Amino acid sequence: MQINYNVTGAKRKELVNAISQKLNAPARYLGAPTFAYEVADYNIDKNGVVRGPINSELVNNLLGLHDFKAVTVEFDTPIPAAEPVLENIQVPNEAALGGRVSPNSDYEEPPVYSESNETEEAISLIIQMPREGFSETALGNLKGLVESKETLIKKALDTDSIPIIINEEFITFPWFKSKCSAEEVKAYTHFVTALCEMAKKQTRVNSTEKSVENEKYAFRCFLLRLGFIGPEYKTERKILLSKLSGSSAFKSGSAKHEEVSE
**198: helix, strand or coil:** helix
Q: What is the mean pLDDT of residues 174-199?
A: 88
Would you say residue 262 has pLDDT above 80? no
Q: What is the pTM of this model?
A: 0.55
Q: State the pLDDT confidence band at 82, using cuts at 50, 70 and 90.
A: very low
Strand pairing report for 27-29 and 72-74: unpaired
Which residue, among 175, 170, 227, has the nearest Cα to 201 in the 3D structure?
227
Q: What integer pLDDT is reported at residue 128 of this predicted model? A: 87
**pLDDT at 89 (0 to 100):** 40
Q: Is pLDDT of 122 > 80?
A: no
Contact 123, 86 (CB under 8 A): no
Q: Which residue from 173, 185, 181 is spatially nearest to 87, judged by alpha carbons?
A: 181
- The lowest-confidence range among 22-36, 64-78, 173-187, 239-253 is 64-78
pLDDT recorded at residue 116: 35
Q: What is the pLDDT of residue 195?
A: 95
**By C-alpha distance, which of 112, 96, 89 is closest to 180?**
89
CA separation for the pair 189, 165 (Å, rounded): 16
